[in-house]
Amino acid sequence: MTPIKRTIKYEADRVRGFAKEIMSVSGCEQLQSCIQCGTCSGTCPLSIYMDFSPRQVMALVRADFKNEVLRSQTVWLCSSCYACTVECPRQIRITDIMYALKQRAIKEGVYPKRFPIPVLAKEFAAMVRRKGRITETLLVLKLFLKANWRAVLGSWRLGLGLIRTGRFVLRHERIERQAELAAMLAAADNNNGQPKEAA
Amino acid sequence: MKYSYFPGCSLKGLGRAYEESLLPVMRQLGVELVELEDWNCCGATAYMSVDEQKASVLAARNLAIAEKTGPQDLVTPCNACYLVLNKTKHNIADFPDINQGVQRALRKANLTYSGNTPVRHPLDVLVNDVGLDVIKEKVVRPLKGLKVAPYYGCQVVRPYATFDDAWNPTTMDRLLATLGAEVLHFPLKTKCCGGSLTGTIPEAGLRLTYILLKEAVRRGADVIATICPLCQFNLDAYQDQIERRWGPARIPTVYLTQLMGLAFGLSPAQLGLKRNFVPMKPLAEPTPA
């Protein structure tokens, strides 16, 4: 028998204080004034692939449905093109709210497991912390090995193309004063009330 | 004219043809780009997804170094770097908590930042500081008959740019026309290319790239002109995969600065044009007058 599933949210599914937490993030205060017009969903080039549209995410956040938004595919499909942010008639920085949600989904480890985007974000951050710069080809190799080693085989044509065109870089780009950067990032770690990094 | 220059990681890697063409073109125009001393990754979209405070610190280190060493204006050719550095500059000015955290981190490196580093894109510098009349004087080989689809990408015009419109920018159109090219009306000029989703969720990311390629082909373009290393990579390197999924979409994508270099009489080899997956056809030999 197919298991049945409740499709309406109960009040008990809410996580009290979540909306307040997101709206306390610098730049996200305006969420309070969302009129649910749907302009964000209409301008979003990726909303056709999302489980919740951007408009729905705004409503869910404001109503404290933390678990639903943090586990959604939507925040990871946002490519940061800022179309919604520019168009929002209430000047809500929707892209920045998506970032605030991504940070919390990574911190709590609740992002959708088949999406390699959070893995990319974490590997990216780790490489910056160690080298100060990104070497793209090495980052992508690392991502493939961690998330989906079969993809390396599937992308052999792309890899060969990069070698042929001299764009495949194997030597790490790095900064000279790595210790200075590390000290700066460490100082950012214990900031008042800011969430610590999960990686 | 002298500027601090923040290349960004891509211009040393996948987007090296951008730097290879930007530097000689700027030199010809009398623009001196001084590479920012010990610059670090801007953080891009990825670091912002992990930790906002650290992402601000990363970008702020570059702004502070530019403020300390000068020249004041910081030019960055990558759309993502342009957005992140600008965004951080705005956030530091607008939000005391972000400013506080950034200043505390900067002190660890004996740096300060007072908010005085204008972040500029080369397109802005070319059109507004150098000027189209000066550029026109350098054109020795007009791109006559070359049909170009001008593609700006998203983060160069949204939401922090002040030098052009968020949806219908025209600076690159005018610059290409100055080079003698036939500039096509390209309404998708600021639609997202898919960003890093082309690699992480290809069914969605590559579809966005495909839409741009198909539209440029449909409008009869010979070439797409870009000003962002990630846009160039997506539009150029994935055409094999895109055609296997959805059908024909073959068209070369080059940097604006490569087209400028050709018009200034530089050779394709000097401009990194051999780095394209889908090569641009050589310009027709100029007919002797």
Q: Which of A148-162, B16-30, B225-239, B250-264 has the lowest mean pLDDT?
A: A148-162
- Stretch B38-56: mean pLDDT: 93
Geometric angle at alpha carbon B229, from B223 and B231, rounded to 5°: 60
**B221 CB contacts (<8 Å, ≥6 apart)?**
B147, B148, B149, B184, B186, B251
Q: Is residue B13 part of a domain?
A: yes
Q: Is residue B287 part of a domain?
A: no
Are both B238 and B182 inside the same structural domain? yes
Residue B17 has pLDDT above 80, yes or no: yes
Are both B150 and B114 inside the same structural domain? no
Are both B151 and B202 inside the same structural domain? yes
Give the span between the Cα atoms of B129 and B208, in whole angstroms.
33
Q: Which of A50-54, B102-106, B159-163 has the lowest mean pLDDT?
A: B159-163
Predicted confidence band of residue B289 (pLDDT cuts 50, 70, 90): low
pLDDT, position B263 = 98
Residue B209 has pLDDT above 80, yes or no: yes
Residue B47, domain CATH: 1.20.1050.140
Q: Which of B157, B162, B146 is nearest to B191 (CA)?
A: B157
Give the span between the Cα atoms of A132 and B89, in whole angstroms.
20
**A83 CB contacts (<8 Å, ≥6 apart)?**
A43, A44, A45, B154, B158, B192
Are both B144 and B247 inside the same structural domain? yes
Predicted structure pTM score: 0.94
Q: Is residue B278 part of a domain?
A: no
Give the span between the Cα atoms of B271 and A90, in whole angstroms.
45
Residue A152 has pLDDT above 90, yes or no: no
Q: What is the ipTM of this complex?
A: 0.94
Q: How far is CA B14 from CA A6, A155, B123, in A?
A: 48, 16, 20
* Contact yes or no for A188 and B105 at CB 8 A: yes
| Percentage of the residues of chain B whose pLDDT score is greater than 70 | 99
Question: Which of B39, B43, B159 shows the shortest C-beta gap to A86?
Answer: B159
Question: Which of A46, A180, A191 shows the shortest C-beta gap to B109?
Answer: A180
Contacts of residue A79 in chain B, CB cutoff 8 Å? 45, 192, 194-197, 205, 208
Domain that holds residue B185: 140-268
Question: Which of B58, B154, B200 shows the shortest C-beta gap to A128?
Answer: B58
Are both B206 and B98 inside the same structural domain? no
Within its chain, how far is the Cα of B132 from the centroid? 18
Residue-wise pLDDT for B133-156, tens only, equals 999 999 999 999 999 999 999 999
Q: Which of B232, B210, B204 is nearest to A115 (CA)?
A: B204
* Contact yes or no for B275 and A187 at CB 8 A: no
Residue type (1 letter), A64: D
Are both B66 and B113 inside the same structural domain? yes
pLDDT, position A44 = 98
Residue B255, domain CATH: 3.40.50.11810
Q: Which of A34-43, A50-59, A184-193 has the lowest mean pLDDT?
A: A184-193
Contacts of residue A194 in chain B, CB cutoff 8 Å? 52-53, 101
Are both B112 and B149 inside the same structural domain? no
Place of tokens 């990726």: A46
- Bridge partners (DSSP) of residue B235 are none
Residue-wise pLDDT for B234-268, tens only, equals 999 999 999 999 999 999 999 999 999 999 999 99
> What domains, with CATH codes, occur in chain A?
13-108 (1.10.1060.10), 117-189 (no CATH)
* Contact yes or no for B41 and A140 at CB 8 A: no
Sign of CA dihedral A107, A113, A118, A124: positive
Q: Is residue B67 part of a domain?
A: yes
Q: Is residue B52 part of a domain?
A: yes
Residue-wise pLDDT for A81-111, tens only, equals 999 999 999 999 999 999 999 999 999 999 8
Contacts of residue B97 in chain A, CB cutoff 8 Å? 26, 192
Predicted confidence band of residue A116 (pLDDT cuts 50, 70, 90): confident
Count other C-beta atoms under 10 Å from residue B168's C-beta: 12
CA distance A198 to chain B (A): 8
Count other C-beta atoms under 10 Å from residue A94's C-beta: 29
Domain total for chain B?
A: 2
Are both B146 and B255 inside the same structural domain? yes
Predicted confidence band of residue B200 (pLDDT cuts 50, 70, 90): confident
